[in-house]
Amino acid sequence: MGPKIGGYLSRIDDTSGHHAAVLYGRDGKIKLEIDEQSRATFFDGAFSIGRSATVTVAASNASSAEKAQADIVCSGANDHIQIQEALDILDARGGGRCGFSEGDFYIAASINIASNISLFGMGPTATTLRLVNTGAPINLLQTKNYATVRSMRIHIKDLLLLGDSTGGNAGTCFYANMAYSRLENVWMQDASVDGMVLDCQTGDTATENVLTGCQFRKNGGIGLHLKGSVREIFLNSNFVYSNTGTGIKIEGESVKIAQHIYLTNNWIEDNDHGVEVVDGQNLSFMGNEIAQNGKHGVYIHKVLGLSSSGFVFTGNIFYSDGMDATDTYDSINIDGLSGTYKALRLLATGNRFAGNNKTRYYINLGANSANGLVSSNNFGSGTVVTAPVIDSGTGNIVRDNLGHVTENHGTAASVADGGTIAHGLAAAPTFVSVASSVAGEIATVSGVDGTNITVDIKDNDGSAGTTQTIYWKAEV
């Protein structure tokens, strides 16, 4: 890299429609000019920038040393102007890096970030882009022309994007239409609406985006909202908590379904719903902690007439969801639409659940769910109001879960004709077999309920048989 550039940015327009971005040195001489018509670059001095250009921006309250080494020093008022000019220079060069010092940057208009640009700070506890209340709907940061253009290869790291919690600006911390991009250690909080929106409505797909180590907290709407044609989204080790709306909402729109979303090792707590999936498919939840949300921990349902299938839950911890109302909300609630568009193929295995005398069910398989498998989960800690699992769907299998007995067998002694055997199952069995221990006598099932199996014991002539040991097996 060449030597650092110091000075300030300006934009020149003439009547012919020609535009140029100019960086002035501290001595007032032009150091860099980018002609936006020809993309030609002119330099005064022996240095180069190239596609890997880095521009550093210092806050008004940065240290003297940081200001001395920065390319741009902000004033603390309308800092978005100088930041945007820096990003426009990088955009004109085809991309580059914009680094921020420690301190606070005051933003009164949306900052637009284009493809191939990286933003990085000194850490979210050190570098803050702070939205100023202007009374207008402003996104603090947004991808350039997001309504019509999908940006690509954006990288944002080590920043706090602080919204306007007073509600004066009805905007997000970050509104993005992007692909092949990455956010690391970015905190988005106190937006009056959603913390971050990833929205692809342009005929493209917001694909292969990674969000890792980020925080979405205390936003007035949804913490993280994925909507439209989104797929191959990787959410790893993020903190999503204390949002007024849903923590993470994944939502297909029109004929676009959200799919192939992977949530791993996230902490999702104290939101409305923890995670809400509307018209999604092929979603994986692995190693997350989903706790103390007001409504459902995970709520999967449908609005559109589109296929919806493939939901995998493994190694997650759920506890104390449904805090808003007793016996109303569940840890996992899944349902589809009646008829063709059911919610299909839920797989829940190896998860741990704990209740708080408010959670209704740990897993609620709705009437329009089908062909799911709930197996090898731990329902043994805490309490739920109604039952660990309810299956109102079609073709679902619930088996081998700790704390929810769905199959049992044994030997019952001293059973008389018309006597009962306690089956110990979580619900009335749908399959029961009994066998007599006395030669020549026949044992049959005459009734079942949520607690007992009623057994008739008859001799060959139809008379009551002897009191005896009965071998039995029952399954829900």
CA distance 88 to 114: 8
Which residues does residue 336 pair with via DSSP β-bridges, in sequence order? Answer: none
pLDDT at 216: 98
- Do 186 and 161 form a contact (C-beta atoms < 8 A)? yes
Which residues does residue 49 pair with via DSSP β-bridges, in sequence order? Answer: none
pLDDT at 7: 46
CA distance 456 to 440: 14
CA distance 310 to 344: 6
As given in the structure block, the two tokens for residue 471 are 């071998």
CA distance 339 to 345: 16
Residue 44, C-beta contacts closer than 8 angstroms, at least 6 positions apart: 25, 29, 30, 31, 32
pLDDT at 306: 66
Q: Which of 15, 71, 11 is nearest to 36 (CA)?
A: 11
Residue 167, C-beta contacts closer than 8 angstroms, at least 6 positions apart: 192, 220
The 3-state secondary structure of 363-406 reads: EEECCCEECCEEECCEEEECCCCCEEEEECCECCEEECEECECC
Q: For the chain of 476 residues, list the mean pLDDT of each consecutive stretch of 10.
A: 41 44 45 39 34 86 96 96 95 95 96 97 97 85 93 97 77 94 97 93 85 97 94 97 97 82 98 95 96 97 77 96 94 84 89 91 93 93 84 93 93 97 92 96 96 96 95 94
- Classify residue 304 as exposed, middle or buried by CB count within 10 Å of its CB (0-12, 13-18, 19+): middle
The 3-state secondary structure of 155-181 reads: EEEEEEEECCCCCCCCCCCEEECEECC
pLDDT at 305: 67
